[in-house]
Structure 1
Amino acid sequence: MVAVADRSPNPLTRMRDAVWHPTPGSLRFLALLGVIGNALIVATGGAVRVTKSGLGCPEWPRCTGDSLVPTHSAEHPALNMSIEFGNRLLTFVVLGVGVLVFVAAVRLRPRRGSLVRWALAQPMSVVAQAVIGGIVVLTDLHPASVALHFLVSPALLVFCVILWIRAGEGDAPPRALAAPRVRRLAAALVAACGVVLVAGTVVTGTGPHAGDADSRRWGFNIEDVTRVHSGLAWVTVALTILAAVVLHRTDAPPAARRRVHELIALELAQGALGYVQYFMGVPGPLVVLHMLGAVLLWIAAWRLALALRDRGPVPSATAPAPEPTTTEAPQPA
């Protein structure tokens, strides 16, 4: 193991050691990069849609019929091709981070099997996401495939967030830090956030930002699906306020109280943004921010749920076994 105090002044060496000679802290940092990367790719995917660049690369896995990278095309503007291709490249960056996280989890000593499994789920899920992205292109941005493509990201973020939290705690059996009703309320809050995400994909699939001018849309009334989405969001806010009251009236851990305050702040900001974008005619930049806010809420809800149990301290590093020493027998004079 490389001790933290022995860090090299060379940043490349430190990056290598964070993966090849990981500590619990460096693994947790890599896991956080996975959380950030998968949240950002949701925002860049939104940018693809609002700029009508969804078919900027009309083929998959190639960008065009005979090229992996954007080339001149009379049917697809260069800007749209660049935006779509840039989103594809970011997928490879997120995949690379997932691979590094997995290698670090395998190399961590003592090895923790649960962390290895959570880490393995990340690159595997990114590969699945890339395949679904190909289906989105090949179906000409059908709203069902687009919705699935979006919803895989929150599912992948569950793996990333759990690994991030688990890397900073031990492997003891979970010990509840709150009453059962509080933990059930937190679980209901996570479920409510998930339902709001699903409803949001229906609104997006009905609204004006299809990703391409000729893409198919759902035939729902946009005002009706928006009201449903808004109503579910208000239910989530009510559950969060109830959770805050219960946490403050019981002997809840301070970390859980901080998490619920963060969640309320995010919900207020997200709600205000949602109403502003609706009354402004759904401008593209606000749509991208709203999508990013949705995944931030999802992350915050999971952090609250995970703050209601304790799994003990992080296992200490295994010290390397000392080299055996040989003692020479005294020689006769």
Structure 2
Amino acid sequence: MTTSGDQTTRRWSDVLMPRTFTLWTMVLGIASVISQAGIIVTGAAVRLTASGLGCSEWPRCTPESYVTTPEMGINGAIEFGNRLLTFVLAAIAVLTILALWRVRKTHRNLVIMSIVLLFGIPGQAVIGGITVWTDLNPWIVMLHFLLSAGMVSIAALLAHRIGAERRARITRTPAVKLQDGASTKLTSISAVVVYIAGWFTLIFGTIVTGSGPHGGDPSAPRHDFDPLIVTRFHTAPVYLMTLMALILLVVMYRINTSQRQRRAVWGFTAVLVFQALVGFYQHFNGLPIAVVLLHMLGTGLVAWMMTIVLDVFNSKYATRPTETELPTGDAAPEQLTNA
């Protein structure tokens, strides 16, 4: 006989580990992207407030303590607070894996993405520790940021696929394709160039940062590059992305693109314009902290949207039933569509 306690446990199990794609799964997918982009902003806040060595040790905060102490002041609190956010990211990653675990036989690639995000978190923590050990070496700081941007991109892919799976069940559509409209060779290549140029923009942007005044601590080493020259390297791929965005904006109205494809391009274009305006303002106004922080928010948005643009014009992913949604007696096939 089933007790009320067993029923409660089963209900919670079905919520946390559903057998299909539920609203909970969708929430976790979005939370993954937001949290990964958010850690870029909080990390920038650590650097911009000169709190990079607020905790002078790693994994401890001080030689004697794992937590900040009153003597360390606001800088210690900011750095330690940023470290604590690691546990928030880990919790979201674990919950996402659990939410996808029962669909792993039919949606293996999604589970793999969620596991990659989980293992990326301790990787980030270790690189962050090396950053402290090297007194905020700008090359290590650069690696720290780029890993975060990569995790934003993976989280964006995961959330995009979960969203498609959720829509398929709401609309009762057998197979929803991420590339749900027309895509020519020109749009496909343009989307790929957007993604590649986006990464070059992020890479050169970190070099610009490493050559600028906001090193995370007054004693932090800086690059010896000419800031003006590396800024020009940083803006060159931005111009290329702008050109590709214009091509997509023109071509997508001349072919049978979907509303989702058009929204992706317009969304990316809006983020690109926002980021360019903020970048120009900070460059010509002495890099005010609040504006630089806004620019760092933009980097997360760029990583997010350039991934979606790539996806909607190139992905072969299509939704499919979970194991419990298959007709009785059918074997649960492996997911054959590309990620």
- TM above 0.5, one fold? yes
What is the CA–CA distance in structure 1 between the aligned matches of 2:113 and 2:39, rounded to whole Å? 20
1:265 aligns with 2:263: no
Amino acid corresponding to residue 32 of structure 2 in structure 1? G
State the AA in 1 paired with 2:210.
G
Give me the whole-angstrom Cα distance separating, in 1, the residues matched to 2:32 and 2:217: 29
Q: Retained in 2: the 8 A contact 1:195–1:232? A: yes
Are the counterparts in 2 of residues 105 and 111 from structure 1 also a CA contact under 8 Å? no
Q: Secondary structure at the match of 2:324?
A: coil
Pairing 1:219–2:211 present: no
Using the aligned pairs only, state the percent identity: 35
Q: Secondary structure at the match of 2:253?
A: helix
Matches within 5 A, 1:44-59: 44-59=42-57
- In the alignment of these two chains, the number of paired residues is 309
Q: Kindly tell me: are residues 320 and 243 of structure 1, through their superposed partners in 2, closer, same or farther at Cα, counting changes over 3 Å?
A: closer
Counterparts of 1:14 and 1:37, CA distance in 2: 27
What is the aligned partner in structure 2 of residue 185 from structure 1? 190
Deviates more, 1:102-111 or 1:150-159: 102-111
1:269 positional shift: 1.1
Matches within 5 A, 1:164-179: 164-169=159-164, 177-179=182-184
Change beyond 3 A, Cα 1:313–1:321: closer
Q: Would the alpha carbon gap of residues 123 and 313 (structure 1) be closer, same or farther in structure 2, given more than 3 Å must change? A: closer
Is the counterpart of residue 70 in structure 1 residue 105 in structure 2? Answer: no
Report the Cα distance in structure 2 between the residues aligned to 1:184 and 1:199, rounded to whole angstroms: 22
Closer/same/farther in 2, CA of residues 66 and 15 from structure 1, 3 Å limit: farther
From 73, 77, 82, the equivalent of 2:77 is 82
User: Partner of 1:124 in structure 2?
Assistant: 119
Match of 1:283 in 2: 288
Aligned mates of 1:149, 1:205 — CA distance in 2: 12
Q: Which moved more, 1:245-254 or 1:175-184?
A: 175-184
2:159 is aligned with what amino acid?
W
Instruction: Work out the CA distance in 1 between the residues paired with 2:288 and 2:13.
Output: 43
Aligned to 1:161: 156
Greater Rg by CA:
1
Return the offset for 1:317. Answer: 6.3
CA contact (8 A) 1:118 1:163 kept: yes
| Aligned mates of 1:175, 1:19 — CA distance in 2 | 29
Flag structure 1 segments of 5+ consecutive residues without an equivalent: 1-9, 323-333
Stretches of structure 2 lacking an aligned partner (at least 5 in a row)? 1-7, 166-174, 329-339
One of 126, 131, 138 as aligned partner of 2:133? 138
User: Distance in 1 between the 2:252 and 2:12 partners?
Assistant: 40
The TM-score normalised by the length of structure 2 is 0.84
List per-residue Cα deviations over 1:245-282 (Å, max 9, x = no partner). 12222222221111111111111111111111112210
State whether residues 168 and 314 of structure 1, in contact with CA within 8 Å, keep that contact through their aligned partners in structure 2: no
Partner of 2:36: 38
- Note if contact 1:136-1:146 (Cα within 8 Å) is conserved in structure 2: yes
- Which residue number in structure 2 is paired with residue 96 of structure 1? 91
- Residue range with higher mean Cα deviation, 219-228 or 109-118: 109-118
TM-score normalised per structure 1: 0.86
Q: Distance in 1 between matches of 2:12 and 2:264?
A: 30
Task: Spell out, residue by residue over 1:101-134, the C-alpha distance to the aligned partner (whole angstroms, 9 max, x if none).
Answer: 1111113476521111111111101111111001
**Alignment partner of 1:20 is 2:17:** yes
